[in-house]
Each structure stands twice: as structure tokens, then as C-alpha cells.
Amino acid sequence: MDEELTLTGALFLRHRRVLLAGGVPLFFLCVFLCRENGRLLEGLVLTAFLWTAAVFDYYHGLIFDRLTFPMALFAVCFHFHGIMNVPDLLLGAFAGGAPFLALAVLTNGGMGGGDVKLAAAGGLWLGWQGALLALVIASWFGGLAAIFLLVSGRRKRKEAMVFGPFIAFGIWTAFFFGCRLLADYETFCLG
């Protein structure tokens, strides 16, 4: 990991191909998914933050505060006009960040602070139910990836694996499909 690495324009330039290669299709996917619900700007902003965080964590093992704090601020701004009230926002941030903070403390740094802040910022976007759904999605896909990497021999048991891309995927999925997934889960459980 690059300990002296900071979020600068040079870092964006270094990864411009990857950022664009994934960002352009995600842009069009956001337009498609938001065509009827009126949340296009919100979806595009969130997707930009999440894709950037996932790319930088994958390549450098870092999720920058200069990315997560603006992401949290944008969440508050988007929800300020009445979609969620302040207690719901705070509960979302707690539901998103607290489980990862507990993991970071219990594993003595096995989970990074950037992961905690990304999940908390995601909770501000999603509310507590969406944040918990994002946690489940991230855990499932991160766990499946870890199993695949272990079985294929690409990673050793004690070798670190970045988790930010899975958190980003969980938040993104919960944002765009959360209502449907929660409704389907409720229907499945209650019959």
C-alpha cells in the first residue's frame, strides 16, 4: 500500500482509463435505472463517488477522506429537502458504519477506517434499512470472492483483501434495487 498517497488530480489521471471504462457504462446504467423515478442526479453523484472509491481501494488499499466526507455531505444535501429526516440520516450512518467499526476494533485493524467511513456515508444515502441491506450484499459478495480467491490459490488465508469495492457494490445495489429487494424479502418471509 502507498502510505504517502493522497487524493490528487495526478491520481485521477493515473487511473483515468479504469475510471472511464467503468464510469461510462455506469453513467448509462444510471440513466436507464432512474428514467422514471426522478433520482437521476442523485444516482449519478452516488455512483461517481462509489466507483471512484472502489477503484482507489482496489489499486491502493485506500479510501480517502477527501472522497467519503463529500459523499456524506452530498447525501445530507440531497435528503435535506424532505426525503429523510435528521434522525433517519443519523440512524442510517450508524447502521452503515457501526458494524464495520466494530470489525475494525475487534480485528485490530483488519477492517480499515476508510471502509468504516464509506459504509457510514452510504448509510446517510440509504437510511438504516438500506444500510443494513448494503451490509448484507457486501458481505455475501465479499465472502464469495474470498472463497473463490482461496480455492483458486490466488490468495492465502491470512493475506489481506480489499473490501471497499464490495461495500461500494452493496451501497449501489441497495440504492437502485433496495426497495424491490426488501419488498421481495418481506413477501418471501411473510408468505
pLDDT score of 181 more than 60: yes
Residue 139, judged by CB atoms within 10 A of its CB (0-12, 13-18, 19+), counts as middle
Residues in the chain: 191
In this prediction, residue 107 has a pLDDT band, given cuts at 50, 70 and 90, of confident
Higher pLDDT, 168 or 111: 168
Positive or negative torsion for Cα 134, 169, 113, 48: negative
| Nearest partner of 50 among 122, 1, 100, 105, judged by Cα | 122
The residue ranges of every structural domain in the chain are 9-190
Question: Which residue has 447502521 as its cell numbers?
Answer: 95
pLDDT tens digits along 42-92: 999 999 999 999 999 999 999 999 999 999 999 998 887 666 677 888 999
| Nearest partner of 114 among 72, 173, 144, judged by Cα | 72
Q: Which amino acid is at 62?
A: L
Grid coordinates representing 132 are 443494513
pLDDT the model gives residue 34: 87
With pLDDT > 70 as the criterion, what percentage of the chain qualifies? 95
Report H helices in the chain: 9-14, 16-33, 40-60, 65-79, 86-106, 113-152, 164-190
Grid coordinates representing 61 are 488499499
pLDDT score of 183 more than 90: no
Mean pLDDT of the chain: 89
Asked whether the beta carbons of 136 and 170 are under 8 A apart, the reply is yes
pLDDT score of 191 more than 70: no
| Nearest partner of 133 among 183, 188, 178, 75, judged by Cα | 178
